[in-house]
Amino acid sequence: MSSIYKRAKTAFIDSNEAQDFVKLDTNIFYLEKLKELLEKPFKFVVVYGEPGVGKTMLLKRVVHEKGDTKLIPYFKPFFSKEEMERAFCKDLFGNEEIDLLSSLNTLEDFSKTIILDEAQLYDVEILEFIRVIADTKKVRFILVMHQNQDEELMAKEHFKTRIYENIAIKPPTKKELLIYIHKRLFAYELVELANTITKTQSDYIYRFTHGNLRLSNKFLFTLFDLLEYFEANHPSLTNTTKIDKKFLEMSAIHLGYIDA
């Protein structure tokens, strides 16, 4: 019989896929906000936040729920303007060899929306190319980018007079992290195990991850990995109705959050 802890680890393998989107108050707000913006004319919307808060998953969820061919996402960055231009030609017109700017005139105003993830990686040449396309008012852009503390967003500065709205994605709150943990375990039919995760334990994890989903997933994966090991090798030290704080502390030590 498969260990419940092994199954629990699977629940916290880091993922950006739409089906792993967990509905919390904050990310439902961001989701509905983006869907609402797609009904309005704009040149640029900028979505930004620290790495690991769920920006890519959020945009993939938008694409999934809209199911709209007018929404064209690119979740991997382009390495050159030429590569980007060929991709745009192929996905907008079905022919990567045509002239992009002249072909845009055949489109209706704001008829296509391009999502560019990792937009903080683009240099001035590519950003200027994107600006020229947006100024035709045929194609608009959602730019998704990282922002670390005190890091200036070049793209926001480059497009500041053309940005319709900035959406700053924040990590879940303490309360939401507990809901997130429970919902991820519920999704894997681990209800009893979910009930062993209390507010106190969730708050302990939050102390180190501050709700960042990527870091929280890593912490929980480590926790259940340790529990799986002890279940197999020292079963008397585990209890399926309760997770001892020592396992949380061991996880924090293993991840370098506290000293041994």
CATH topology of domain 25-168: Rossmann fold (3.40.50)
Would you mind telling me the total number of residues written for the chain in this entry?
260
Domain segments of the chain as ranges = 4-19+172-254, 25-168
pLDDT in tens, 184-232: 999 999 999 999 999 999 999 999 999 999 999 999 999 999 999 999 9
Task: Provide CB contacts within 8 A for 138, sequence distance 6+.
Answer: 104, 105, 107, 108, 109, 110, 111, 112
pLDDT in tens, 16-54: 888 889 999 999 999 999 999 999 999 999 999 999 999
Task: Provide CB contacts within 8 A for 246, sequence distance 6+.
Answer: none
